[in-house]
């Protein structure tokens, strides 16, 4: 049978990896797919770089539209990224009746509803395994492997840059700004790391997982997004003393009131496997009612790890190419007619536990004032850690850090209690609040 012909839009790090993996493993991939898969056309603004990667025998152009217009191309791989031109190209490829493989989490998290509807109407597939956690086959696991389950929650370390920074902060006792500069110097963090450090990249990914897990539309605008820029080395140290590590988690959870969808730094008990995922690695924990808790670990970025996911999608599409669209795996795991309108909860309705750090005057009655406010709000305390003032501020210091771990409470209640504590004259600096997930 004639090989499937693939057009590649953007041949940077992941595009080169995809080309190389397909070529190197061509024989085994063909035995698996039942048909050859060939990249026959590449579009990149840097034609010389593209030519250097693919050699002769592949058509190289600088205009992505030419790939979409080519009637011989069966599948388009979009590796340009972003919401701009990539959106138009993906919609144009769908309109031209081509299947699409993309690693573009931002595009799908924000415009997924429109894109999946267009693909369904046209009877083509938009595959996006590479969009979440790079080489880890988490989309496949959620959509197919765990299809028997009612998924209860997902918690993941799904941004390698921030996990690398947090690991370095903990190992070396350094503050965020210092580690970020070092990560940029070493090439672990991008020159503009905003999407990573502000939690936006992780929020794109957890938005996609949430939709697949719970059969709801992709709703990035409903996600609570908080990054790691405000974390201090002191909080990492205090958390450690209490038996926790701080990780940037993407969390989505089913509750009686609706779906939680949030990204923020979280204390995770040190004994959990997730707390021990270090450096740029990714890991996702999924809890389903039948299977219990499962863990998926691997490289969340990089040339060939991400290519591994892109090529897996190409093989799936090759196998499905002739299947009746009604009998394909739905984009969001649930049939389009069965997508639910269950609400995504505002953050004030989320119930979780907390780490609080208060810089307080080291004088009689302060602890009682603070715990009194929590008691009045009905917030139960799990642990308290108070350091001697001179341990924190040096000899003669008159202020100290008061660390409180709470049991579960509604975030709205915690916000009110924090405002009351903040107004005490003995609370000397903005209170640090980090959420805590037991993940039991």
> 203 vs 157, 219, 223, 266, 424, CA distance in Å?
11, 10, 7, 14, 35
Q: How many CA atoms lie within 13 A of 397 on its CB side?
A: 16
Kindly tell me the burial class for residue 92, based on how many C-beta atoms sit within 10 Å of its own C-beta (0-12, 13-18, 19 or more): middle
Closer residue to ligand HSE (CB): 168 or 196: 196
Closer residue to ligand HSE (CB): 134 or 288: 134
Q: Give least dist CB 301 to ligand HSE, A.
A: 4
Secondary structure element (H or E) that encloses residue 402, with its range: strand 399-406
Q: Give least dist CB 195 to ligand HSE, A.
A: 7
Helices (H), ranges, 123-241: 138-140, 160-172, 176-186, 194-197, 200-214, 233-241
Closer residue to ligand HSE (CB): 313 or 411: 313
> Per the residue annotation, which of 98, 105, 205, 247 is the catalytic one?
205
Q: Give least dist CB 306 to ligand HSE, A.
A: 8
- The whole-angstrom distance between residue 120's C-alpha and the CA centroid of its chain comes to 25
Q: How many CB atoms lie within 10 A of CB 32?
A: 14
Q: Give least dist CB 280 to ligand HSE, A.
A: 7
Annotation marks residue 205 as catalytic: yes
- Bin 172: left if φ > 0, else alpha if -120 < ψ < 50, else beta: alpha
User: Should residue 201 be labelled a site residue for ligand HSE when binding is judged by CB under 6 A?
Assistant: yes
The position carrying tokens 């600096």 is: 429
Closer residue to ligand HSE (CB): 37 or 301: 301
Q: What single string gives the DSSP state of each residue in 21-88?
A: HHHHTHHHHHHHHSS-EEEEEEE-S-HHHHHHHH-TTSEEES-HHHHHH-TT--EEEE-S-SSSHHHH
Q: In sequence order, what are the beta bridge partners of 260?
A: 253
Site for ligand HSE in 318-377 (CB under 6 A): none
Q: Give least dist CB 156 to ligand HSE, A.
A: 11
- Give the x/- contact pattern for ligand HSE in 130-169, rule: CB under 6 A: -----------------------------xxx--------
User: Should residue 235 be labelled a site residue for ligand HSE when binding is judged by CB under 6 A?
Assistant: no
Site for ligand HSE in 244-303 (CB under 6 A): 300-301
- Give the x/- contact pattern for ligand HSE in 83-102, rule: CB under 6 A: --------------------
- Give the x/- contact pattern for ligand HSE in 168-197, rule: CB under 6 A: ----------------------------x-
Per CB under 6 A, residues contacting ligand HSE are 159-161, 196, 201, 300-301
Catalytic site positions: 205
């Amino acid at each position: 049978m004639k090989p499937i012909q693939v057009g590649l839009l953007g041949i940077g790090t992941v595009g080169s990896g995809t080309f190389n993996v397909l070529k190197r493993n061509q024989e085994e991939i063909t035995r698996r797919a039942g048909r050859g898969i060939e990249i026959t056309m590449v579009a990149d603004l840097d034609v010389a770089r593209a030519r250097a990667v693919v050699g002769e025998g592949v058509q190289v152009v600088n205009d992505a539209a030419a790939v979409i217009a080519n009637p011989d191309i069966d599948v388009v791989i979009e590796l340009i990224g972003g919401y701009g031109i990539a959106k138009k190209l993906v919609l144009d490829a769908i309109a031209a009746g081509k299947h699409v493989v993309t690693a573009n989490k931002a595009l799908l998290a924000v415009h997924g509803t429109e894109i999946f509807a267009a693909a369904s109407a046209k009877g083509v597939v938009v595959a996006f395994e590479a969009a979440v956690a790079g080489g880890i086959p988490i989309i496949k696991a959620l959509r197919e492997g765990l299809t028997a389950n009612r998924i209860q929650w997902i918690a993941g370390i799904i941004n390698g840059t921030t996990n690398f920074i947090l690991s370095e902060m903990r190992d070396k006792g350094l503050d965020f700004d210092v580690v970020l500069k070092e990560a940029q110097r070493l090439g672990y963090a991008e020159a503009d790391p905003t999407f990573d450090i502000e939690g936006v990249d992780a929020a794109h990914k957890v938005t996609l997982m949430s939709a697949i897990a719970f059969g709801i539309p992709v709703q990035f605008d409903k996600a609570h997004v908080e990054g790691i820029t405000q974390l201090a080395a002191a909080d990492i140290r205090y958390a450690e003393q209490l038996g926790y590590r701080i990780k940037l988690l993407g969390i989505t959870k089913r509750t009686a009131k609706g779906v939680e969808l949030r990204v923020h730094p979280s204390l995770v008990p040190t004994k959990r496997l997730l707390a021990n995922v270090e450096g740029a690695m990714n890991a996702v924990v999924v809890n389903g009612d039948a299977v219990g808790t499962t863990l998926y670990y691997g490289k969340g970025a990089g040339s060939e790890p991400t290519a591994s996911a892109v090529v897996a999608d190409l093989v799936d599409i090759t196998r499905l190419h002739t299947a009746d669209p009604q009998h394909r795996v739905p984009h969001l795991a649930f049939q389009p007619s069965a997508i639910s309108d269950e609400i995504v909860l505002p953050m004030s309705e989320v119930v979780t536990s907390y780490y609080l750090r208060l810089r307080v005057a080291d004088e009689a009655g302060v602890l009682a004032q603070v715990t009194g406010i929590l008691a009045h709000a009905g917030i139960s305390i799990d642990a308290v850690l108070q350091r001697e003032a001179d341990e924190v501020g040096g000899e003669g210091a008159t202020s100290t850090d008061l660390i409180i771990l709470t049991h579960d409470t509604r975030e709205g209640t915690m916000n009110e209690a924090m405002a009351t504590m903040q107004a005490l004259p003995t609370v000397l600096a903005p209170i640090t609040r980090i959420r805590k997930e037991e993940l039991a």
